[in-house]
Protein backbone atom coordinates (compact mmCIF):
# COMPACT_ATOMS: atom_id res chain seq x y z
CA UNK A 1 0.00 0.00 0.00
CA UNK A 2 1.43 3.34 -1.02
CA UNK A 3 1.82 6.04 1.57
CA UNK A 4 -0.49 8.96 0.95
CA UNK A 5 1.18 12.36 0.82
CA UNK A 6 0.04 15.78 1.94
CA UNK A 7 2.59 18.36 0.86
CA UNK A 8 0.43 21.31 1.96
CA UNK A 9 0.12 20.17 5.57
CA UNK A 10 3.78 19.10 5.60
CA UNK A 11 4.88 22.62 4.65
CA UNK A 12 2.55 24.11 7.24
CA UNK A 13 4.00 21.83 9.93
CA UNK A 14 7.56 22.89 9.15
CA UNK A 15 6.58 26.56 8.95
CA UNK A 16 4.74 26.30 12.27
CA UNK A 17 7.77 24.77 13.97
CA UNK A 18 10.11 27.39 12.51
CA UNK A 19 7.83 30.30 13.41
CA UNK A 20 7.32 29.13 16.99
CA UNK A 21 10.88 27.92 17.51
CA UNK A 22 9.76 24.41 18.41
CA UNK A 23 12.30 21.65 17.88
CA UNK A 24 11.45 18.31 16.33
CA UNK A 25 12.22 16.63 19.66
CA UNK A 26 9.97 18.98 21.63
CA UNK A 27 7.04 18.46 19.27
CA UNK A 28 7.64 14.71 19.27
CA UNK A 29 7.65 14.64 23.07
CA UNK A 30 4.46 16.72 23.20
CA UNK A 31 2.70 14.33 20.82
CA UNK A 32 4.13 11.14 22.30
CA UNK A 33 5.89 10.08 19.10
CA UNK A 34 9.51 9.74 18.01
CA UNK A 35 11.45 12.32 16.00
CA UNK A 36 11.32 10.15 12.90
CA UNK A 37 7.53 10.50 12.86
CA UNK A 38 7.82 14.30 12.80
CA UNK A 39 10.40 14.14 10.00
CA UNK A 40 8.15 11.82 7.96
CA UNK A 41 5.18 14.13 8.43
CA UNK A 42 7.27 17.13 7.36
CA UNK A 43 8.06 15.22 4.17
CA UNK A 44 4.36 14.79 3.47
CA UNK A 45 3.52 11.40 4.97
CA UNK A 46 0.08 11.48 6.52
CA UNK A 47 -0.04 10.60 10.20
CA UNK A 48 -2.58 8.21 11.66
CA UNK A 49 -5.90 9.88 12.43
CA UNK A 50 -5.30 10.03 16.20
CA UNK A 51 -1.99 11.79 15.57
CA UNK A 52 -3.69 14.21 13.15
CA UNK A 53 -6.05 15.17 15.96
CA UNK A 54 -3.11 15.66 18.35
CA UNK A 55 -1.25 17.72 15.73
CA UNK A 56 -4.33 19.88 15.19
CA UNK A 57 -4.60 20.56 18.91
CA UNK A 58 -0.89 21.36 19.25
CA UNK A 59 -0.34 23.36 16.06
CA UNK A 60 -3.67 24.55 14.71
CA UNK A 61 -3.13 22.64 11.45
CA UNK A 62 -6.61 21.28 10.78
CA UNK A 63 -7.15 17.56 10.28
CA UNK A 64 -8.74 18.30 6.90
CA UNK A 65 -5.47 19.80 5.65
CA UNK A 66 -3.84 16.36 5.87
CA UNK A 67 -6.46 15.13 3.40
CA UNK A 68 -5.33 17.61 0.74
CA UNK A 69 -2.50 16.64 -1.63
How do residues 41-64 score in pLDDT, each as one tens digit? 999 998 999 999 999 999 988 888
Chain-centroid distance of CA 3 in Å reads 15
Quote the pLDDT of residue 3: 56
In sequence order, which residues have a C-beta less than 8 Å from that of residue 29 and are 6 or more positions away? none
- Give the mean model confidence (pLDDT) for residues 18-22: 96
In the CATH scheme, what is the code of domain 7-67? 1.10.260.40
Mean pLDDT, the chain, whole residue set: 89
pTM greater than the 0.85 cutoff: no
> Is the per-residue pLDDT at 65 higher than 80?
yes
DSSP-assigned states of every residue in 48-65: PHHHHHHHHHHH---GGG
Amino acid sequence: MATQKSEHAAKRLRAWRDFHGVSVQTLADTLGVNRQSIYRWQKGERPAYDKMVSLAAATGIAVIEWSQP
